[in-house]
Structure 1
């Protein structure tokens, strides 16, 4: 169904945006990132995050360092690069502009909806 494809594309873009916004706050472990996204119902499968983080790394948007955890096993500690921070801020501006535009279209659709026979 086309609606499912569109929803999937929208969710993918929003997921990428939210990951960048979480990283904008500061250094974070992937497990903390996954937990926050799951709590927000943005992430059903955690395996999606690792390829996204790798993509951001290849694009120069983030870096990571290995940090020893309490369990003794090292974990990657992710953080945005300066370019990543700039990109996250530009995306925030773009999202807000798009939300304003979509709200205007929705308002116009509601106000300009043709009357049906039942409404007359």
Structure 2
């Protein structure tokens, strides 16, 4: 296969993974990147900031600055009401989609 299927799948869902993380609690960029990298969703923090910028421009997330005891002020990202609505819409589509794909690619019958 010449197409990197994993890369294509991640591109389609990584924005919603960010929204899912932010639906739990506001997070700063480094914290988000660590969670996404450990889950195999992004390769480096450098790919996260353009994505966060797009999410801000779309109105799905907003930022606020907060002092840190461990260094400079941190920029936190939080979900907006519109972002929560987008995430809920994705959640409604995801489970039946994933189930359908699993049914189609399940192992052959012997």
**TM-score, normalized by length of structure 2?**
0.88
Aligned to 1:48: 47
1:14 Cα deviation from its structure 2 partner: 2.5
Aligned residue number for residue 71 of structure 1: 70
Rg comparison, structure with higher value: 1
Query: How far apart are the structure 2 equivalents of 1:15 and 1:66?
Result: 24
**After the TM superposition, which residues 23-38 of structure 1 pair with which residues of structure 2 at under 5 Å, given as runs?**
23-38=22-37
Q: How many residues align?
A: 110
Aligned-residue CA RMSD (Å):
1.8
Aligned residue for 2:61? 62
Describe the SS at the equivalent of 1:41. Answer: coil
Match of 2:93 in 1: 94
Instruction: Give, in whole Å, the separation in 2 of the partners of 1:12 and 1:46.
Output: 15
Query: Which sections of structure 1, spanning at least 5 residues, go unmatched?
Result: 114-120
Unaligned runs of 5+ in 2: none
2:33–2:44 CA contact under 8 A, matched in 1? no
In 2: Cα distance, 1:2 partner to 1:60 partner: 36
Question: Normalised by the size of structure 1, how large is the TM-score?
Answer: 0.81
Distance between the aligned counterparts of 1:94 and 1:2, measured in 2? Answer: 28
Question: Shift in Å at residue 81 of structure 1?
Answer: 0.4
**Stretches of 4+ moved more than 4 A in 1?**
none
